[in-house]
Amino acid sequence: MHNIVMDNYKDHIAIIGSGIAGLAIGCILLKEGVPSIIFEKHSKLGSHGAGISLSPNALRVLRYMGLEDEVEKISKLSLTTKIQDNTKTLYSSSSNVRTTSREMLYKILLNKYKSYGGRIIYNHELRKIDSDSSKVFFQNNSNFVVKHVIACDGIKSISRNSISESASTPSYSGYSAWRGIIKSEDNSINLHLSKNSHIVSYPIDNEFTSFVAVIKTANEYKEAWKIEGSTDEMKADLSMHSIKLVSKLAKSNEVFKWGIYKRPDVNKLFVKNITFLGDAAHPIVPFLGQGGCMALEDAYIFGKLLTKYRDDIAHAQREYKRLRAPRLRMVKRMSETQGYLYHLSNPLIISIRNFLMRNSSSTTEKRLMRIWDYDPNNDLK
């Protein structure tokens, strides 16, 4: 097929990727009558068979988007968050975090997007963006001239190549992970800490619990979401945890393993006529469960700004950077610190950490509140 340049989207905002950020900003723009279109590389909505936790800052965004009832229907409100070191409880508090499956979160965003008449052009894998001519090129040889590009193409973003090749070069974070889903009616978020490792689990519905087990290791696994491993291999990797706990996780029908990789941030959050959101802009290590929450915040803030300044997109971009950059830096820093605290190996430092967790829960909560209390409408006033 020859390259065909079609310009029927030249008045549209092109959103690359129908993940959390892409669907959320699609909803916000269409609700306000800003013509938008999503291009997605897959042939349908992704099904990841994994969980996601939504802290109050993300729930606020979803409420402002009119999705409160839908979120309540598809998620569990965890009654407690408990942190344990082997069998000892270090920290326990009531929780107002909702947990669900990624698939259900995608579904309610997609339904909302469709309810505004939104369209997704599937099987369109971005190849490159020409930021001078605002043209997007896809692997299937189709090209479109668009008004503006919002890059929401996730952790392995191709849009980042518009900045430089090195902007998308991954580097191993030092952490590899296992995930699976087990039958359990436990209604809490549980964190188990052990030497160089932590395991987090939470309900995704009334019947099933999702878990992610992370180990600090020089033995890096591939960066892939769907590489199946064996339960024996997982048990060996998690030998620092109690046999009882690991045997429970090994009941998962299938377990997946992958390496957690980092990429440099997109410093400016925009380049010419491209604006970056979510993981495409600022990939963060997942130890505070904030990647998806930040994607929702980004989408809400840039969606509202673009609506307000639709005739001066460059101004919307500058405001987006001004409002988001400090917060994103803080959340990234806190996630990295959490990664350090969750994967200690020195027994003395572990006992200091455990003492502090047991005796200064208010400090832990205060730290979290800096993230959870955020209200994007205060920023937009």
| Closest CB 351 distance from ligand FAD, rounded Å | 28
> What is the distance between the alpha carbons of residues 300 and 377, in angstroms, rounded to a whole number?
9
Specify the residue for token string 């339960």.
Answer: 231
Positions in 286-315 near ligand FAD (CB under 6 A) = 286, 289-293, 295
16 binds ligand FAD (CB under 6 A): yes
What secondary structure letter does DSSP report for 352?
H
x-marked contacts with ligand FAD along 171-200 as a string, rule CB under 6 A:
------x-----------------------
CA distance 144 to 13: 11
Q: Kindly tell me which of 262 and 272 has the beta carbon lying closer to ligand FAD.
A: 262
> Looking at 19, 56, 203, 259, which residue binds ligand FAD (CB under 6 A)?
19
Contact 30, 37 (CB under 8 A): no
CA 59, 62, 63, 64: dihedral to nearest 10 degrees?
Answer: 130
Using CB under 6 A, pick the residue from 46, 170, 174, 264 that binds ligand FAD.
46
Structural contact between residues 290 and 339, judged by C-beta atoms closer than 8 angstroms: no
* Separation of alpha carbons 260 and 361, rounded Å: 29
Would you count residue 248 as binding ligand FAD (CB under 6 A)? no
Contacting range for ligand FAD; rule: CB under 6 A; set: 143-151, 240-248, 273-281, 353-361 = 273-281
Query: 283 and 160 in contact (C-beta within 8 Å)?
Result: no
Residue 124 tokens read as: 């369109």
* Dihedral, 352, 358, 363, 364 alpha carbons, nearest 10: 90
Q: Note whether 53 binds ligand FAD by CB under 6 A.
A: yes
Contact pattern for ligand FAD over residues 145 through 164, marking x by CB under 6 A:
-------xxx---x------
Binding region for ligand FAD (CB under 6 A): 16-22, 39-42, 46, 52-53, 125-126, 152-154, 158, 177, 212, 278-280, 286, 289-293, 295
